[in-house]
Structure 1
């Protein structure tokens, strides 16, 4: 029987599954190709047969990774928006957090998953995630009294798409962030928000 490294068997299994998912994500982000179970197990510090105790096959592992990556992205954005008191600041948090996730490699993982594990479930989950991301943005704009909140949300979201393309083209993350502040900052301030760069801008000669 394998040695239990957590207080309970359930916690041990959860920790091992987390290690396997993290290892698969790391390998996928690095190579863009589906890793073998042996590669994933080795990076996670497990024997190859042990990995099969948690996932029956590489496909099973990739499907689990799909179900892990997308909801975590949406939750990260929602948490960042919820941390802001002013509705207008939530708009900026939405764009900056999405761009930060791209810079951290999450977008590359999603693209790689779509390439190595194409499926109707993946497409459906991707569509659900994008809608789940847009919902709090639209709600925030409606709270602010924005006209045509859905259209405004789409235009704001286009900044995320543009930022993604810039990052993937090699533009530094900090440079993309600064341009987002330049473009979105006036809108945020006009609606009662306080972008983080406002203090720096106000002190500038």
Structure 2
């Protein structure tokens, strides 16, 4: 019987799955190609046969990674927005956190997953993530009394997409964030004043 490195078998299993997912994510970000189960197992510190106790195949592992990557992104953005007491400041938190995630390589992982694990599940997860990401932004804009919050949210999201392209083409994160603050800062300040007036 394999050695258990956690208080319970369930916790051990969860830790091993987490290690495999993290290893797969690291390799995918590094190469942009689907890693082999042997590569993932080696990076996670497991024997190759052990990896198959947790994921039946490379495709099974990639699907698990899809289900892991997108919710983590959404959760990080929501937590950053929730940490801002002023609704107007949540707009800037939304954009800057998305930029941080792109700069940290999460977007590259998403793109690589789209390339190596295309399919309905990935498309559905991507669409669901987009809706989940926009919901707190739309809610914030609604709270601020913006006339058409859904359209405004899409326009703000266009800044995120443009920032992503700039980062991926080599523009430094600090430069992108500075331009975003210049562009969105007046809008955020105006909405802050509107609530306190």
In which range does the TM-score fall when normalised by the shorter chain?
over 0.9
Match of 2:147 in 1: 147
Tell me the distance in 1 between the aligned counterparts of 2:103 and 2:172.
9
Q: Using structure 2 for the length normalisation, give the TM-score.
A: 0.97
Match of 1:101 in 2: 101
- Which stretch of structure 1 is more off in the superposition, 57-66 or 174-183? 174-183
Measured after TM superposition, the shift of residue 189 of structure 1 is 1.2
The 5 Å alignment of 1:23-172 reads 23-172=23-172
Tell me the distance in 2 between the aligned counterparts of 1:43 and 1:150.
43
> Secondary structure of 2:182's partner?
helix
Match of 2:12 in 1: 12
Measured after TM superposition, the shift of residue 107 of structure 1 is 0.4
Tell me the distance in 1 between the aligned counterparts of 2:165 and 2:80.
22
Match of 1:199 in 2: none
> Secondary structure of 1:59's partner?
helix
Unaligned runs of 5+ in 2: none
> Secondary structure of 2:34's partner?
coil
Tell me the distance in 2 between the aligned counterparts of 1:4 and 1:64.
22
Measured after TM superposition, the shift of residue 130 of structure 1 is 0.3
Measured after TM superposition, the shift of residue 126 of structure 1 is 0.3
> Secondary structure of 1:185's partner?
helix
Tell me the distance in 1 between the aligned counterparts of 2:167 and 2:125.
24
Measured after TM superposition, the shift of residue 93 of structure 1 is 0.4
> Secondary structure of 1:85's partner?
coil
Equivalent residues, number: 193
> Secondary structure of 2:192's partner?
coil
Measured after TM superposition, the shift of residue 134 of structure 1 is 0.6
Measured after TM superposition, the shift of residue 2 of structure 1 is 1.0
Tell me the distance in 1 between the aligned counterparts of 2:171 and 2:7.
45
> Secondary structure of 1:192's partner?
helix
Cα deviation 1:49-103 (Å, max 9, x = unaligned): 0000000000000000000000000010011101111000000000000010000
Cα deviation 1:25-57 (Å, max 9, x = unaligned): 000001000000000000000000000000000
Unaligned runs of 5+ in 1: 194-205
